[in-house]
Amino acid sequence: MWTDITRPQDERTGRPRTTDLRDVFDAILHMAATGCQWRLLPNDVPPVSTVRGDFNDWRDNGLLRTDNHRLVMAAREAAGRTSSPTAGVIDGQRGSRPIGPTTGFGWTA
């Protein structure tokens, strides 16, 4: 996964990058682990605009989805299972909650 992120991108015009991509990635992992908001990132990570911009780029070009899929497949193989699941379970049963409008306390109107 890390090699995909550090792989040189297309030649871009403008200023060269000064922010270490590892610091950006660590900030994204911090958000995922703690559930903090963008503006509450610690001060020792790159600026919020940089972290959010790189996250949006990686999300939009499919990098995060692709790497997540690779990690799931590797974890399944490490556990001795096939890399892709062969079956799924769908539960179509409804709960015991009433269907329709309620009065606010769970009672049906």
**Residue 41 maps to a domain:** yes
In the chain, the number of structural domains is: 1
Residues 40-92: tens digit of each pLDDT: 999 999 999 999 999 999 999 998 899 889 888 999 999 988 888 777 777 76
**Residue 39 maps to a domain:** yes
**Residue 56 maps to a domain:** yes
Cβ neighbours around 62 below 10 Å, total: 10
The model's pTM: 0.66
DSSP code for 80? T
**Residue 4 maps to a domain:** no
Residues 56-66: tens digit of each pLDDT: 999 999 988 99
**Residue 25 maps to a domain:** yes
How far is C-alpha 59 from the chain's CA centre? 8
**Residue 64 maps to a domain:** yes
Residue 32: domain span: 19-78
Q: How far is CA 35 from CA 39, 54, 103, in A?
A: 12, 18, 33
